[in-house]
Every structure is written in C-alpha cells, then in structure tokens.
C-alpha cells in the first residue's frame, strides 16, 4: 500500500484530496498513458460505479483525464464492481474503472482499477498514479459536487444488459428457482438494478429491500454491515433464505430461514465440500484470509482439504489462488472468488452458485453449512490517529504477550490495520471456556493508550 492506495484501490471523502477534479483528471490521464505504453495503441476503458451522489462527477473527471491523454471511455453507469471486471475481460477493454467506496457511508468514495484479464490493478500502475498525485497540491475541500467537475458521462445501456445476461444465461443456466422465496437487501447500492431482475428471471419469488437509492442512503441501515435488516425481512416474509449485498455488490452475506447469519466462511465450507464430493475440487485446497475462523480450517482438514491463508483483501486471495491453482477462495466478509467463472469477488454470482447448490442437493441453507463448527470469535475496532507497527508499541507488545500466554495454543490473536479506514482491528478466537471478550478488550485498551483517537467499537 502507498499513500493513496489501500487494500482496495483509492478511497476517501468525496471532495477531499485526491477525490477532487484536478487530481481525478491526473489519475485518468496517468492511467491512459501507462496503458498506451503497454499496449502500443489507443487504450479503451470502461467505467461505472455505485449509487453515491458523488459517483457521476468523479467518473466524469477521471474520464476527462483519460480523453486528454488520448484514451477512450465507455460508461456503464450504475453497475456492481464485478460487472466492470466482467466487461473489461469479456468485451476487450484495456482496463476497467469502478467508482465506489464499497460498504462505506455515502460521503466517502473511491476508485478501483481492473486489468484486461479481469484482475485488479498491479503495482506498476499504482506506483505511476501515486507518483503523479505526489506532485499535486490539495485544493480546498468541496463536499458537494465541485463546480469545476465535468458533466456526467453518457451511459451505454448495453453494458448492464451484457452483465445481466452473463449472470442469468451463463452462471444461472438451467437454474430453476421456481418455488424459492428469497429476501434480498440491495444496500441501496449497485445491486439494486440487478439482483431482483436476476432472481425473478430464474423463477424466484423475492422480497426486496434497500432498492430505493437516492445518492445518500447507500449502506444506511441496510446491506451486509446491517445484516439484521435482511434477517428481519426473511423471518417476517417466511422466506427460505435472505441475501444481503454491500454497496458495490462485490460480496454478499446470507441468512437462513430462521434469520441466522451465514458468512463467507460458511459459504466457503459449503461450496468446497460440495465440489469435493463431486470430485471437482482439484487441487483439494481453498484460499482464505487470516480472518477466517479456525473452525473452517479444522472442518476442511477433516475432509482432506487444505486451507491456505493470506493477508486480508481479495487481491491477496486471488494471488494465492493463482499461485496454487485453487478454484475457490474468499473472505469471511463475503468476498468469494470462483476462479472458473470470474477472477473478481462477485456477490450476485456467489448468490447464484449457492442457490444452485441448494437446488441440486435439495437442502436448506442451514443444512448445507451444518458441518461447520466455529471457534468463538470476536472483532474489536479501535480508532487510531496513526498506523505504527504493533511490535513497536510497548503497551501493545506487552499485552499481546500476556494474552498469548493465557491462550496457551488454544486460540489465535490477530492484530492488523484496516486498509481503508483509520482503524486497528483486534481479532481473537479461542476454544470454549476462554473469555475472548475480556482478552480482546485488554488488547484494544492497550492500542487505545498507545495510538488512540476515540473509543473502541
């Protein structure tokens, strides 16, 4: 990660540097220049984003820079992040650009990049953009759409149709959801124009919420970060399961018919064991991050399936999948990658794959994940004013040693900084009988004393 790039592209508050017109134009121009040098031709790019009120003018400013440097841009409008990854690969674009801040509130935004292969951007491109931005001076903060921002782009509706056809006719081919009732929470985000159409086209009865985006209500009391909302809808409607997407729909979480959460670990378990039973998990491994529960690792190991762990982020997951030839990987948060179908985490695609498993096995979601027993796990977020190595913080280092001594090999403590927010994350899991809440609170308090900028949450 650099000064501007985190684990998932550039992210910040819209109107603050570098999400300002001049900087955005420089980003677009730099991207176009790097691609032209690589390909030896005029680069073609596709751009789209989520429902934030700032997304149109940010996209237009980036596109202006691309055009100034000789590139061409086609706009897909509101579309999930993996939709841009699909279009980039399937329609022969040299790169794809997504304007989104995923699960963040509406006032934030960001930029993600995809290569022609559908993979997220590489270090060379990020380094070039970082260098270009270093030479700029931030403009005054402009929280509303800046007057200097260019007008919105013309949207080509064929892009959305192409992505929908990929989902319904390729991923969903021969999938009959007749008789299935599904609650759907679109987070007032990029899934809103797609999820209901996709599921109803395959025969499902849907109960949709979070599909009335107004530019400011993305992730507001809905979506994956408020999973209890779709759980309530599922129970009230008597649906067989519920699906919640995040703001840019690159991930999803599920709830079963009783409203119990089924997260990315559970989905990895269900999909891996099903594929293995069919003889289709070759090699017999799954990629997950350091945040995945120890219970997943043990449950897979009992079935002869290796779990390969990576740092947090779907980019790290994909890199390990490609290195080991793994077909399945993902994160506890719901980013799941099915390498035979896409190199990007895709919430809509994940939903279809899970539904296909349930239809073909004629089982409920609760039954599909029954073999996974979790270690109790807790996660505490601590606001921080800076991100210094934990081992250099005396109170933190001492507390970590004390906690690990109490765990005595029966649990796991993980400290990391968020790649997109000023937060330290304390994850602790352990066998039953260990008070993980108290131990995690001790570590969080030590971080607060050394780096604190608020109250742990």
Whether 248 has a binding-site annotation, put simply, is: yes
Shortest CA distance to 383 belongs to which of 447, 315, 317?
A: 447
Three-state SS letters, 331-363: CCCCCEEECCCCCCCCHHHHHHHHHHHHHHHCC
Whether 246 has a binding-site annotation, put simply, is: yes
Cα(151)–Cα(144) distance, integer angstroms: 14
Contact 353, 327 (CB under 8 A): no
Whether 276 has a binding-site annotation, put simply, is: no
Measured at the CA of 119, the angle between CA 116 and CA 123, to 5 degrees, comes to 95
Cα(394)–Cα(446) distance, integer angstroms: 9
Whether 450 has a binding-site annotation, put simply, is: no
Cα(262)–Cα(341) distance, integer angstroms: 22
Phi/psi at 214 (nearest 5 deg)? -125, 15
DSSP letter (8 states) at residue 391: G
Residues noted as catalytic: 102
DSSP letters for 211-240: ----SS-TTSS-SGGGHHHHHHHHHHHT-S
Phi/psi at 302 (nearest 5 deg)? -60, -25
Phi/psi at 429 (nearest 5 deg)? -135, 150
DSSP letters for 370-385: TT--PPPEEEEEEEBS
**Which residues does the annotation place in the binding site for Mg(2+)?**
102, 246, 248, 250
**Which residues does the annotation place in the binding site?**
102, 246, 248, 250
């Amino acid at each position: 990660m650099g000064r501007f790039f985190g684990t998932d592209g550039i992210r910040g508050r819209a109107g603050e540097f570098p999400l300002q017109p001049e900087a955005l134009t420089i980003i677009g121009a730099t991207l176009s220049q790097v691609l032209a040098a690589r390909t030896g031709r005029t680069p073609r790019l596709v751009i789209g984003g989520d429902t934030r009120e700032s997304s149109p003018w940010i996209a237009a400013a980036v596109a202006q820079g691309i055009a100034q440097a000789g590139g061409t841009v086609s706009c897909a409008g509101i579309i999930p992040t993996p939709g841009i990854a699909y279009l980039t690969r399937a329609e022969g674009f040299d790169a794809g650009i997504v304007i989104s801040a995923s699960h963040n509130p509406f006032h934030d935004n960001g930029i993600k990049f995809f290569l022609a292969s559908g993979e997220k951007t590489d270090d060379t491109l990020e380094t070039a953009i970082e260098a270009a931005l270093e030479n700029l001076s931030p403009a005054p903060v402009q929280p509303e759409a800046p007057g200097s921002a260019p007008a919105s782009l013309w949207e080509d509706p064929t892009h959305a149709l192409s992505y929908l056809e990929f989902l319904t006719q390729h991923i969903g081919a021969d999938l009959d959801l007749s008789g299935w009732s599904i609650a759907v929470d679109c987070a007032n985000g990029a899934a809103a124009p797609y999820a209901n159409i996709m599921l109803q086209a395959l025969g499902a009865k849907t109960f949709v919420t979070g599909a009335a985006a107004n530019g400011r209500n993305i992730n507001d009391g809905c979506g994956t970060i408020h999973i209890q909302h779709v759980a309530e809808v599922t129970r009230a409607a008597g649906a067989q399961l519920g699906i919640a997407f995040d703001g840019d729909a690159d991930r999803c979480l599920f709830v079963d018919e009783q409203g119990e959460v089924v997260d990315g670990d559970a989905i990895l378990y269900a999909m891996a064991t099903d594929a293995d039973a069919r003889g289709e998990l070759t090699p017999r491994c799954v990629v997950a991050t350091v945040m995945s529960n120890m219970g997943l690792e043990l449950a897979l190991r009992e079935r002869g399936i290796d779990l390969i762990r990576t740092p947090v982020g779907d980019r790290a997951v994909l890199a390990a999948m490609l290195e080991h030839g793994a077909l399945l990987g993902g994160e506890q948060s719901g980013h799941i990658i099915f390498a035979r179908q896409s190199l990007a985490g895709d919430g809509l695609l994940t939903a279809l794959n899970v539904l296909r498993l349930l239809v073909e096995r004629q089982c409920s979601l609760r039954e599909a994940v029954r073999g996974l027993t979790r270690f109790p796990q807790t996660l505490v977020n601590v606001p921080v004013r800076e991100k210094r190595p934990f081992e250099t913080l005396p109170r933190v280092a001492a507390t970590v040693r004390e906690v690990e001594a109490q765990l005595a090999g029966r649990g796991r403590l993980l400290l990391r900084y968020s790649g997109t927010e000023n937060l330290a994350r304390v994850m602790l899991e352990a066998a039953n009988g260990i008070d993980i809440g108290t131990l995690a609170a001790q570590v969080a308090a030590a971080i607060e004393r050394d780096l604190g900028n608020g109250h742990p949450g």
